Amino acid sequence: MMAEESGLWGGVKETLKTVVYALLIAGAFRTILFQPFWIPSGSMKDTLLIGDFLFVNKMAYGYSYASCPSIRIPALGIDIDAEDFCGFLKGRDGRILGSEPERGDVVVFRHPVTGRDFIKRLIGLPGDRIQVKDGLLYINDVAVTVEDDGIFEEVFEPQGPQGLAPRCSNGAVGVGAICQKERQLETLPNGVVHSILNIGDQELDHTGVFTVPEGNYFFMGDNRDNSTDSRVAQSARGVGFVPVENLIGRADRIIFSSAGRSMLAFWTWRSDRFFKAIE
């Protein structure tokens, strides 16, 4: 009997060791190499759609306290922040094995106030002067080049697990109707070309001049009239300037995409977006 119990306990211990090792390996992979990220909102349309799933390249800019994982499982009451793991690194100069991000990169970063993960496009580097006048972006007092690129269309319906409804340039449309936005191609000073969407004349189409402080960056969403970004002062709602230590990594490629309320709803999968490069 003792031998059987010993054998059973030995099997349980081996299973527990395997689980622990697997968790440690997964934790190291997530902390050092890549972090999974799911797109919950439409602020980066049409570059990124609600339901896109991607891995963030943490090696792109080196490491800071923000590179440590945050674990949030509301159903279980679990909310462990990256600062809880690596808060001792916060406020230190520079980044470990750091390299400079480039204008036009699509970047995941920690919100300077709430600590939540955000994803936006890097528009302003330290020292830059950024302004939006009549919907046109100016960098260091020079307007970027834009050209019309047709109309972006999507069905007006609740999108993703949050059931968010899109905003449309063709006015109020009913559920199931086509929602339209004007699409343009924007060319940044370093030659990066990407698409942006516009709804119409909005408050954030007219801003003052933002001078990006040293050690900070300025971010904007590609869905220009539906993005809370660095154009809104730093607060629980606005992003403002983002410190370099808050950068988590660069988004390079969409791995998987689902247009439904659940990733298990295979009939809503967007197969044309699987392994799609992010531009």
User: pLDDT tens-digit profile of 152-165?
Assistant: 999 999 998 888 88
What percent of the chain lies above the pLDDT cut of 90? Answer: 65
Question: What tens digit of pLDDT does each residue of 93-111 get?
Answer: 668 888 899 999 999 999 9
- State which amino acid sits at residue 117: D
How confident is the model at residue 244, as a pLDDT? 95
Judge whether 120 counts as a catalytic residue: yes
226: pLDDT confidence band, cut at 50, 70 and 90? Answer: very high
Average predicted confidence (pLDDT) for the chain: 87
Give per-residue pLDDT as tens, 24-70: 444 454 556 788 999 999 999 999 999 999 999 999 999 888 888 88
Specify burial of residue 86 (Cβ count, 10 A radius: 0-12, 13-18, 19+). middle
Domain of 91, in residue numbers:
2-277
The 10s digit of each residue's pLDDT in 231-240 is 999 998 899 9
Helix, coil or strand: residue 215:
coil
Banded pLDDT at 263 (limits 50, 70, 90): confident
Number of domains in the chain: 1
Q: Which residues on adjacent β-strands are paired with residue 277?
A: 253
pLDDT value, residue 24: 46
Is 122 within 8 Å of 194 (Cβ atoms)? no
Task: Give 13's pLDDT tier (boundaries 50, 70, 90).
Answer: low
Q: What is the CATH number of the domain that holds 214?
A: 2.10.109.10
The one catalytic residue in 45, 120, 181, 230 is 120
* Contact of 249 with 61, CB cutoff 8 Å: yes
Distance (Å, whole) CA 249 – CA 147: 29
What does the pLDDT look like over 175-188, one tens digit per residue? 999 999 999 999 99
Q: Mark 244-256 as b/e (b = at least 16 C-beta within 10 Å).
A: bbbbbbbbeebeb
Q: What pLDDT was estimated at residue 103?
A: 98
pLDDT value for 31: 52
Q: Spot the catalytic one: 43, 67, 227, 230.
A: 43
58 in active site: no
What does each C-alpha distance from 192 to 2, 57, 101, 114, 203 come to in angstroms? Answer: 70, 19, 13, 30, 26
Burial class (CB in 10 A: 0-12, 13-18, 19+), 186: buried
pTM: 0.86
Q: Is the pLDDT reported for residue 243 higher than 90? A: yes
pLDDT of residue 1: 45
Quick one: pLDDT band at residue 11, thresholds 50, 70, 90? low
pLDDT level of residue 142 (50, 70, 90 thresholds): very high
pLDDT of residue 12 exceeding 70, the answer is no
Q: What was the pLDDT predicted at 3?
A: 47
Q: How many residues does the chain have?
A: 279
